[in-house]
A = this chain, B = another copy of it.
Amino acid sequence: MATSAFITRLRSLAPLSEADVSAVERVEMKRFTFQRRQDVLSKGMKPTFVYILLSGWAARYEARRNGSRRITGFLLPGDFCGIHAVCDASMDHSIIALNDCIVGTIQREAMGAIAKASQPIFDAVWRAKLAEEAILRKWLVYAVDAHQSVGRLLCELYARADAVGLTSDGSCEIPLTQEMIGDALGLTPVHVNRMLQKLRAEGLIELHDHELKILDAANLEMVAEFEPSYLQPWH
């Protein structure tokens, strides 16, 4: 069952046949657990395995000289976290577990073999990469206004959680502190707090105890200029 998030994610990226699914299920995968705040992969490492987040949340981040850090992406169950192995590259950033995580690893050659053997799997892997890059671009494009940035991030995370079945009835768990949100958006936690209060006052969201509820999706997406097609780049 631990591969289910991975399969769900791949299926959200390309239409897998039964044979594709069983090929993915049969591939040898080692599992590791990581505790909150533990590095899954560190900058400079050259992984020989492809890493996949099976449960829990993680973040890509980089430290700056002045001691601050910037989060450059959130990883949800089913996401690749270290695809670098496929081309023998080393990590230009680190990945940290945001809560307790289970991570699966697949040997570079085994991953390459199933991707070469099946066009849908090949497509899914590339599309996952393109989606990740598209997310980075959106973070840049909409990094102008703090109110909008915070709103957008919540839209994005909700949509991504939804794609792997982690939402129910307009709610989902967001295991992030306001400081982490600030590290992701380049804002101070103080300012994130004020923007969240504004979104709450506008009746757009509820967010308590790491539980997000979207109260008014249409207006939130309007305010946040959010349009989810970039998360599914093949449509």
Contacts and interface: CB of A to CB of B under 8 A. Distances in A.
Interface in A95-131: 116, 122-127, 129-130
15 contacts: A14-B87, A62-B141, A65-B225, A70-B141, A72-B140, A73-B137, A86-B126, A87-B123, A87-B130, A87-B234, A89-B126, A89-B127, A92-B134, A93-B137, A116-B116
Interface of A: 14, 60, 62, 64-65, 68, 70, 72-73, 84, 86-90, 92-93, 116, 122-127, 129-130, 132-134, 136-137, 139-144, 186, 225, 229-230, 233-235
Contact of A70 (B92, B136, B140): B140
Given A65-B225, A234-B90, A136 B140 contact: yes
A140 B138 CA distance: 11
A91 B144 CA distance: 23
Contacts of A65: 225
A64 B234 CA distance: 22
Contacts of A122: 87
Contacts of A70: 140-141
A230 B173 CA distance: 33
A107 to B, nearest CB: 15
A-B pairs, 6 with minimum CB distance: A87-B126, A89-B233, A92-B230, A87-B123, A136-B136, A70-B141
B132 A133 contact: yes
A92 B229 contact: yes
A144 B14 CA distance: 37
Instruction: Among A92, A129, A130, find the residue whose CB has the most chain B CB atoms closer than 10 A.
Output: A92
Contacts of A186: 140, 143-144
A21 B233 CA distance: 31
Instruction: Among A60, A68, A86, find the residue whose CB has the most chain B CB atoms closer than 10 A.
Output: A86
Contacts of A14: 87
A149 to B, nearest CB: 11
B225 A64 contact: yes
A89 B225 contact: no
